[in-house]
Amino acid sequence: MGHLTDNTRAFFVTGTDTEIGKTFVCKGLLQALNDKGYSTAGYKPIAAGCDNTPGGLRNEDALTLQANSSLKLSYDEVNPIAFEAPIAPHLALKQTVKEGEVHYIPIDKIREGFIHLLQKEPNVIVIEGAGGWRLPLGGSYQGRPRYLSEFVSELNLSVILVVGMRLGCLNHAVLTAEAIRNDGLKIAGWVANQVDADMPLVDENIDSLQSLINAPFLGRVPALKGKEQAGQYLNLAGLDL
């Protein structure tokens, strides 16, 4: 459900892996939406890999989302949960907690941060996940491990899948799409992001993905050089805004 309230749509942006262009695409999405006059808010609930600054931990992805949101948001509003180490977040948490303290990432805090942004009534909230679809939060409930995807399921958010175009992405894309749908969620669209500038048969791979993923194709972002951004390569008409 992209239409979260009468005024606000929210999209959870996931990817086939870490480092495949989720932030790059989120930035493009925010810029394209801003250009069309939508008010926007970026949200990066969990960030691992931060600079330790006098103002607190600062993550590059969250700063990018903050800078490209049309709403004026504080860093903490964009990124409530931050870890310094650039590793799996639940392991980063484990390194920082003391013996006996809670060592799982609380979904409550992720949900609260999101609801807070929702109350500001932007037209669109663009949420960037961390890693891929099944990002572990640590801990378990009734014997089952907990994942960031539970937050998306609880709120029935629409998902945008960024496929990092490189050899192996077909399998990763199909598994991710299957998992999203098995969780009862809708894939609002997918983006082919060319992380590997030299990938052979990109067109043929995109054709294969079109039929394998079976969701609106929001565009192909080439391997860009210099300051060029992803926004102009995204087809917002494919999104249910």
Residue ranges for the binding site for Mg(2+)? 23, 61, 128
Min CB(176)–ligand DNN separation in Å: 12
Residue with the two structure tokens 């949200």: 43
Q: Is 77 a binder of Mg ion (CB under 5 A)?
A: no
The catalytic position among 44, 94, 109, 120 is: 44
Q: Is the dihedral of CA 196, 210, 61, 27 positive or negative?
A: positive
Which among 2-10, 67-75, 99-107, 220-228 is the span making contact with ligand ATP, rule CB under 6 A?
220-228
Residues 207 and 202: their CA atoms lie apart, in Å, by 9
Residues belonging to the binding site for ATP are 19-24, 61, 128-131, 193-194, 222-224
Pairing between β-strand 217-221 and β-strand 187-193 as defined by DSSP bridges: parallel
Rule CB under 5 A: choose which of 61, 73, 105, 195 binds Mg ion: 61
Contact partner, 48, from Mg ion, ligand ATP, ligand DNN, none, Cβ < 5-8 Å per class: ligand DNN
Q: Is 18 a binder of ligand DNN (CB under 6 A)?
A: yes
Which among 91-99, 142-150, 191-199, 205-213 is the span making contact with ligand ATP, rule CB under 6 A?
191-199
**Cα angle value 162/166/168 (rounded, 5°):** 95
Give, as one character, the DSSP assignment of residue 215: S
Min CB(29)–Mg ion separation in Å: 13
Close Cβ partners of 42 (under 8 Å, ≥ 6 residues apart) = 26, 30, 62, 64, 65, 66, 68, 69, 73, 78, 125, 126, 127, 128
- Tokens in use for 178? 């299957």
Phi-psi region of 127 (alpha: psi -120 to 50; beta: other; left: phi over 0): beta
Q: Is 130 a binder of ligand DNN (CB under 6 A)?
A: yes
Q: Is 39 a binder of ligand ATP (CB under 6 A)?
A: no
Q: List the interface residues with ligand DNN, window 139-198 (CB under 6 A).
A: none
Q: List the interface residues with ligand DNN, window 43-82 (CB under 6 A).
A: 48-49
Residues near ligand DNN (CB under 6 A): 18, 48-49, 86-88, 130-132, 135
Instruction: Just list the catalytic residues.
Output: 44
